[in-house]
Each structure stands twice: as C-alpha cells, then as structure tokens.
Amino acid sequence: MKEILLGILAAMFFAVTFVLNRSMELSGGSWMWSSSLRFLFMLPFFFFIVTFRNNGKEVLAEIKKNPIPWFVWSFFGFVLFYAPLTYAAAYGPGWLIAGTWQLVIVAGTLLAPLFFLQVQTAEGMKRVRQKIPVGALCISLVILFGVDSCKFKMQVRFRFKQFFSGHYRLFLQHLRIL
C-alpha cells in the first residue's frame, strides 16, 4: 500500500508540472525549455532525499565508479521520457498527458520479478526473486481504467492521419530534422 500512496503523490507532482508546462507554452515558452526546467526542478528533491538518507557520498562514489550507466539511464529518463511528454503537453491538455503516469506505476509493479531480496536462511544468505504484488496491481489497474475512461473522449477525436500530417512533422521541424 505504501507504493500506491507514493505513486499517487508522484502522480500529483507529475500532473502539476504538466499544468505549469501548458501555462508556459500558452505564454510563449518553448517545450524544450520547459522540459529542461522539469529535469532541473527534480534536483532539489533528489538532493533532499539523498541527504535525508545520508547517502550522498555513496551516490557520488557510484557515479564516479560507473559514469556510463548513469549517463545512459539519464538519457532514457530525460531525452526518451521527459522531452516527448513535455512536447506532447505543449500541444494538448496537460491533464490528458499527465494521465499517462499511471501506466508507469503499473509497469513498475510488473517489474517486481526482476528484483531480488537477500534472505537469511538456515543455509546462509539466499537471493529470492520478488513477486508481483497482485493487490497493488489490481488497485493500480482500477485507477488506470478510470484515467483511461476520462481520456477516452479525447482519444476518439485523434486520427492516425492527423498525427503523421501535422504534429509529427511539426515535432521533426522543432528538432530541425526536416
């Protein structure tokens, strides 16, 4: 249940940032600047959490020890996740885009079997694969269904042809590909 509450809290922050992104876009700001600000605004939270847990030295040592994985996963988080979402929020209602966050919670729950716990047994320490928390998954799926039912009205208006003739071309022009 703790994970669900953390997910709801994260969804609240996520949704608020999309409202701010939309506000910036309507006042003439660029989605690229908004995306960069989103990433920079996460840094104080990161530093607070790391400081609160007294893990600052360990995190810095781990970054120095393995800079490439940190860079690669930062690329995934920022370039492949935040930038497209921020771009989408610039051209659509923020609440509609922010609703995609619940999908991240469901996907994260489904990743549980990829992680192990160290358990002390009579034979010594043993790695035990985690199980998918079915209760939390069911609650998340109900929330996801509710979010998707709200988004359905907007999704019906979307046409495949419009995507490739309009917004996709505009996105590529923003990136200076076309």
Which of 32-36, 39-43, 136-140 is predicted most confidently? 136-140
- State pLDDT tens for residues 44-93: 888 888 889 898 899 999 999 999 999 998 888 778 877 887 777 777 67
Q: Which two tokens stand for residue 127?
A: 């790695």
CB atoms within 10 A of CB 129: 10
Q: Which two tokens stand for residue 129?
A: 């694969």
- State pLDDT tens for residues 132-158: 999 988 888 888 888 777 766 665 555
User: Rounded distance, CA 101 to CA 123, Å?
Assistant: 42
User: Rounded distance, CA 21 to CA 38, Å?
Assistant: 9
User: Rounded distance, CA 110 to CA 134, Å?
Assistant: 9
- Tell me, letter by letter, the H, E, C secondary structure of 139-150: HHHHHHHHHHHH
Torsion sign over Cα 81, 18, 97, 174: negative
User: Rounded distance, CA 92 to CA 103, Å?
Assistant: 18
